[in-house]
């Protein structure tokens, strides 16, 4: 009987010791998922019936500030032959084509978009033009899907407000940039009481909020560029630390 009792005690102690080595059930559960900051913001672009021609008519027209100011914007980006650039939110390819010309045959352009229809359009456009320095990338709502340390400049034009998970997307941009690489963000200056109703409804926050989010991701503000013809847009250039 004493031997039986001792065996039971030993089993109990061993079981207790083993259970203490395991994390509690609550510790093994995944942390709650981060919520989208603007649910549905990309629904139009994810629509399988998206008509690219309609978006070309909206994006590539003189009434759009970033189209009208494209030469000034490109000059401010200061892209050199041989550079690697990621056009995040490439859309119909307006700036992708401009960057392709600027970096030349020795450079590289990644045309990144969340819309399968836009990526298909870009692929066809690239093939027709015979561009050898452009690669399309279908991104996700949480990642640009760019290779690590692959680009000198990430260009985000009228697209930051479409980032549903800005912290995750910014982390992927940070990884993709080479040390000392630059991030250009052009977006709408959302000002309560001044901006038109569409802008107030569509864009979730103003310039200061977006700037602070980007700085929180590890970037430093390099400069706030004045584009003379901009009325609703602003141009911010950030930099990844050279030591990273």
Q: What domains sit in the chain, N to C, each tagged with a CATH number?
A: 43-239 (3.40.50.150)
d(CA 141, CA 127): 27
d(CA 212, CA 166): 12
User: Residue 31's pLDDT is what?
Assistant: 61
pTM higher than the cut 0.85: yes
Cβ of 167: how many Cβ atoms within 10 Å? Answer: 13
Give the helix/strand (H/E) hosting 201. Answer: helix 197-202
Is the pLDDT reported for residue 17 higher than 70?
Answer: no
What are 51's two structure tokens?
A: 């008509």
Overall average pLDDT of the 37-56 stretch: 97
What are 106's two structure tokens?
A: 């020795």
What are 174's two structure tokens?
A: 């940070």
Q: Please give the share of the chain, as a percent, with pLDDT higher than 90.
A: 85
Is the pLDDT reported for residue 210 higher than 90?
Answer: yes
Average pLDDT over the chain reads 90
CB-neighbour burial class of residue 130 (10 A; exposed 0-12, middle 13-18, buried 19+): exposed
Is the pLDDT reported for residue 10 higher than 90?
Answer: no
User: Residue 33's pLDDT is what?
Assistant: 78
Overall average pLDDT of the 10-39 stretch: 55
């Amino acid at each position: 009987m004493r031997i039986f009792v001792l065996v039971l005690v030993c089993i109990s102690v061993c079981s207790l010791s083993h259970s203490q080595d395991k994390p509690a059930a609550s510790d093994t559960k995944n942390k709650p998922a981060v919520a989208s900051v603007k649910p549905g913001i990309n629904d139009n672009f994810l629509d399988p019936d998206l008509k690219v021609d309609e978006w070309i008519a909206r994006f590539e027209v003189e009434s759009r500030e970033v189209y009208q100011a494209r030469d000034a914007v490109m000059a401010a980006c200061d892209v050199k032959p041989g550079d690697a650039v990621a056009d995040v939110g490439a859309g119909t390819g307006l700036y992708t084509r401009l960057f392709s010309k600027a970096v030349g045959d020795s450079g590289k352009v990644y045309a990144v978009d969340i819309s399968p229809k836009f990526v298909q359009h870009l692929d066809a456009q690239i093939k027709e033009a015979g561009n050898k320095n452009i690669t399309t990338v279908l991104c996700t709502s949480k990642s640009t899907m760019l290779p690590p340390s692959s680009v000198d400049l990430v260009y985000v034009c009228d697209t930051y407000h479409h980032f549903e998970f800005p912290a995750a997307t910014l982390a992927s941009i940070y990884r993709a940039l080479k040390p000392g690489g630059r991030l250009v963000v052009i977006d709408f200056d959302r000002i309560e009481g001044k901006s038109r109703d569409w802008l107030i409804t569509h864009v979730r926050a103003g310039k200061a909020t977006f700037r602070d989010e980007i700085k929180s991701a590890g970037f430093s503000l390099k400069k706030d560029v004045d584009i003379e013809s901009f009325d609703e847009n602003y141009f911010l250039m950030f930099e990844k630390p050279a030591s990273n």
